[in-house]
Structure 1
Amino acid sequence: MRVLSFSEKGCIRKNNEDSFLVLSDHGIFAVADGMGGHRSGEIASATALRELEKLAPRLKGLTDQDLEGWLVESFAQANRVVYESSTTEPENAGMGTTLTALLVRETSALIAHAGDSRAYLWRGEELKVLTKDHSLVGELVRLGQISLEEAEKHPQRNILMRAIGADQQIEVDCQKIALQSGDVILLCTDGFSNVISDQELASEFSQPGTWEECLERLRLLILERGAPDNFTALCCIME
């Protein structure tokens, strides 16, 4: 498996509140998009990923049946630490973060998710979104109250319904997928997915050339479009 990534603050934000994690030895990969005043957003995202990293050594003795439990507990631990910091340290009040994680074991993978960062699967020239956005706008789309086109320009599209550190408990979406040779799993923050549509992403993935060239084209495209938010992408290529 090959892993490619980039993370940038974009053209408007003063600092990068996104974080990403690559622990190839443990098969753990994750992205997080922090929120909060001053520098609290970057503290929240980095804290959540640090908790995953601390718990990663426990994976060595686990069977495949135990992996989802490890992910749920890791998210719960990250939530506890971020929530405690946000409620006890005034400078971090209100901070939180999205968290989308991928756990790869041989021919299968688990996705765990909270927030509006995303995981995509590219397989056989088709792109599939593996996660659902835990946002107000995402919920309105699922309820049929607004269209996808309306969601892209909705003034409240940044309001999250679920995030690490937002409450004492966190609900985690988990799913397992069987991997195939040639699969590509992309994890990204909304600074990426809000600027490049799913159709454009599929088109770029279909172009000839290396994956390094593809990711660089996408990075430059976001910058050309003004990169209004921090943006992060982490690409796992199954070879």
Structure 2
Amino acid sequence: MRSCCVTDVGQKRTTNQDFVFASDTPVGPLPNLLIVADGMGGHQAGDMASRYAAEVIVSHIKRSRERNPIRVLRSAIETANERVLEKAAEDEELSGMGTTVVAATVVENYLYVANVGDSRLYLIRDHIRQITRDHSLVGEMVRAGELSPEQARNHPNKNIITRAVGAGQKLEIDFFDEDLRKGDILLLCSDGLSNMVEDEEIEKIIKSGRELPKIAMNLIERANRNGGKDNIAVVLAQPLTGEVEQC
């Protein structure tokens, strides 16, 4: 696998509440690990939530003896949910903090994904395809046929999410798995990218590039050029390269 990750504060925000993690080498029982987390909350709560949740996930996986990738991801995210709730309860300024999480691992030629919130994982093959489902108010409206994806991108309630790590004791996590082929590219991103750049434009940028770090920066630049209204997080990976080369 080859991967690359980058975040940017965007054009309108003063703090960066997005956090990214990418390891091409084993993390506990997993052969690799990719994470995007998009925090929420006042003061420093948002960036604390995203960073802390990701760190708990990585730490938990490093200690795990479970071999099933979905069970590994489930246990790690559930533990992160508990820890974020505990930390928020300890400090009044962190009250109400939470974060999205999309986490993925590739085992042999199979992709495993866990998702809470509206951060996304896309698979780019012949065309771009969103693997995750947005846990958001507008996402539910799109699935119900009440909004088009374009209307959702510009909807005044587009930032309202319906699930988050740290939002409550009961956490629902979506899981996905996909067969991969050589040449596939994975994109994990926060809504700072997907709200600013249409899927077709994302696909064009990815397919027109050759080096992952350059592609990642081109995606960031396009989101900022289109308004950069939020923090932007990008993780790119080429899973089936036969190489280990971390950007």
Normalised by the shorter chain, which TM-score bucket?
over 0.9
Q: Evaluate the alpha carbon distance shift between residue 210 and residue 53 of structure 1 in structure 2; reply closer, same or farther with a 3 A threshold.
A: closer
* In structure 2, distance between residues paired with 1:157 and 1:236: 27
> 2:87 is matched with which residue?
85
Per-residue deviation, 1:209: 4.0
* Alignment gaps of 5+ in structure 1: none
* In structure 1, distance between residues paired with 2:12 and 2:90: 30
Per-residue deviation, 1:118: 0.2
Per-residue deviation, 1:208: 5.4
Paired letter, 1:40: A
Aligned residues: 235
Note if contact 1:75-1:170 (Cα within 8 Å) is conserved in structure 2: no
Note if contact 1:76-1:169 (Cα within 8 Å) is conserved in structure 2: no
* In structure 1, distance between residues paired with 2:122 and 2:230: 20
Per-residue deviation, 1:73: 0.8
Paired letter, 1:15: T
Per-residue deviation, 1:21: 1.3
CA deviation string 1:38-87 (max 9, x = no partner) = 0100000011101111112245x543xx2211111111000001112223
Note if contact 1:3-1:236 (Cα within 8 Å) is conserved in structure 2: yes
> 2:13 is matched with which residue?
13
Does residue 3 of structure 1 match 2:6? Answer: no
Note if contact 2:216-2:235 (Cα within 8 Å) is conserved in structure 1: no
RMSD between superposed Cα atoms in Å: 1.4
SS in 2 for 1:20: strand
* In structure 2, distance between residues paired with 1:207 and 1:25: 27
Does residue 29 of structure 1 match 2:34? Answer: yes
* In structure 2, distance between residues paired with 1:195 and 1:152: 8
Paired letter, 1:5: C
Does residue 50 of structure 1 match 2:55? Answer: yes
SS in 2 for 1:14: coil
Paired letter, 1:101: A
* In structure 2, distance between residues paired with 1:169 and 1:52: 17
Q: Percent identity?
A: 35
> 1:95 is matched with which residue?
97
Paired letter, 2:8: E
Per-residue deviation, 1:214: 2.6
Note if contact 2:212-2:237 (Cα within 8 Å) is conserved in structure 1: no
* In structure 2, distance between residues paired with 1:40 and 1:208: 36
* Superposition map of 1:107-126 within 5 A: 107-123=109-125, 125-126=126-127
> 1:206 is matched with which residue?
207
Note if contact 2:3-2:23 (Cα within 8 Å) is conserved in structure 1: no
* Alignment gaps of 5+ in structure 2: 27-31, 242-247
TM-score after normalising by structure 2 = 0.90
Deviates more, 1:24-33 or 1:189-198: 24-33
